[in-house]
Chains A and B, each alone.
Chain A
Amino acid sequence: MTDHVHTTDEDEHESAYSGLLVNDAHWAFGTDFEDPLAGVDTTIPEGVDAPALAAYALMLGDDALVMSHRISEWTSNAPDLEDDIALSNIALDLLGQARLLLARAAKADASVVPDLPEGSPAPPEDALAFFREAHDFRNVRFAELANGDFADATVRVLLFSIWRLATFERLRSSRDHVLAAVAAKGVKELAYHRDYAARWFVTLAQGTEESRRRLVAALDALWPLWPELFDTHAVEAAAAAAGVGVDPASVREAAEATLDQVLAAADVPRSEAPRRAGVLGRTGRDGMHGEPLSRMLAEMQSVARAHPRGQW
């Protein structure tokens, strides 16, 4: 298994790529694809309700999974090769966060994992990703909206990463070791996503009339679901009270301040598009999703569901 891993020092100065994977602390969670939580303390902190922790991890994990899949749809479709790879990298970062968070949910409460046919080799995080129905997903509705143009991708990544970064900065001090570790790793990833998107935001806003028109249109289209990101669901309130989670309402001020900085740099006013209401008061965190998520899951899950015993 380690045949391909470069372990010699002989030509370490010859190539920027030598030394790769050698006792590298950067791979905090290892390169082992068997157990994503290997080496991390997964004991439930004292006084924390395990099912509540699992429900909270599922929310954060589903946000990352659904957003990751949306961004991954840009692969081979971005305006140029370099941004294609940049968006793919962002999608992969989020997929990595999703994997750890879904694995955390399954480890804390095995009953959240759907039953698979006997003999299925799918690990719990895969079972959660590929064998749940849309109404079992707990992601915010913002993450599932169907893609638009590149300006839409820019605004989408900007708003999402500003919000999630503000959340993860606080989640680093979670009493749950896994959530704290995921947040510590995620903060660096999200800071880059934000930087990347903010730069394009300013560029498009200050570019041509057409690029600015598209950017403002994208902001108006995504704006109605921005306030929902800061709603506090009962699961999040409980997780925050237990010291393992972050109350979304508590990061609103920081997130809005960051967003205002970007808007000011781009000379774009805040959108006046009204907030989109929930359905009978229920939103993404309650399992209430729109048709775009159903369509997305149908595609995303089709292969895994057709071959539940498949080896990948």
Chain B
Amino acid sequence: MSNLSAEGGHGAVPLQGVPTGEGVTPPEPEWPLWEVFVRGKRGLNHVHVGSLHAADDRMALLHARDVYTRRNEGVSIWVVRADAITASSPDEKDPMFAPSGDKVYRHPTFYDIPDNVPHM
């Protein structure tokens, strides 16, 4: 069985080492999981692109370069141990996110944004 699940529409998240329920113990020891973030050539932010296994920081970075930037996607890579990420649980989706759904007044839609202001 895979360590990843996209169940619940939240994208692929690690199932092990995060406080989100029961983990699955692998049958044999393997390299820990890392999440990979890549900043594109013209992108402003690092974007999560996937995950991989590696033995340490440096190897994770090299693997990320090999697996996720082989088609010239990025100019910068971040890797972080998956078990260092604290994730919200699908179970708490409603209390976490539903309350903000009807607060239209929180959107800054009443301002005129000049054409020459980028990235808004």
Contacts and interface: CB of A to CB of B under 8 A. Distances in A.
B40 A82 contact: no
A292 B13 CA distance: 46
B40 to A, nearest CB: 4
Interface residues of A, number: 25
A20 B62 contact: no
Contacts, number: 66
B47 A16 contact: yes
Given A82-B53, A82-B63, A82-B67, A13 B41 contact: no
Given A20-B72, A26-B72, A89-B66, A82 B44 contact: no
Interface in A22-77: 24, 26-27
A16 B74 contact: yes
A19 B40 contact: yes
B52 A19 contact: no
B41 A19 contact: yes
B103 interface: no
Contacts of A86: 62-63, 66
Given A80-B31, A82-B52, A82-B53, A16 B38 contact: yes
Contacts of B59: 199
Contacts of B71: 17, 20
Nearest to B64: A82
Interface in B55-72: 55, 58-59, 62-63, 65-68, 70-72
B54 interface: yes
B73 A20 contact: yes
Q: Helix, strand, loop or mixed for chain B's interface?
A: mixed
B26 to A, nearest CB: 13
Interface residues of B, number: 30
B87 interface: no
A13 B43 contact: yes
Contacts of B106: none
A18 interface: yes
A17 B69 CA distance: 9
B42 interface: yes
Contacts of A26: 72
A192 B63 CA distance: 12
Contacts of B67: 81-82, 85
B14 to A, nearest CB: 16
B86 interface: no
Contacts of A17: 40, 49, 71, 73
Contacts of B73: 16-17, 20
Nearest to A87: B66
Contacts of B42: 12, 19
10 closest Cβ contacts across the A-B interface?
A82-B63, A16-B38, A86-B66, A16-B40, A16-B47, A16-B73, A85-B66, A19-B42, A85-B67, A17-B73
Interface of B: 31, 38-47, 49, 52-55, 58-59, 62-63, 65-68, 70-74, 119
Interface of A: 12-21, 24, 26-27, 80-83, 85-86, 89, 192, 195-196, 199, 203
13 contacts: A13-B45, A13-B119, A16-B39, A17-B73, A26-B72, A80-B53, A82-B52, A82-B66, A82-B67, A86-B62, A86-B63, A89-B70, A195-B62
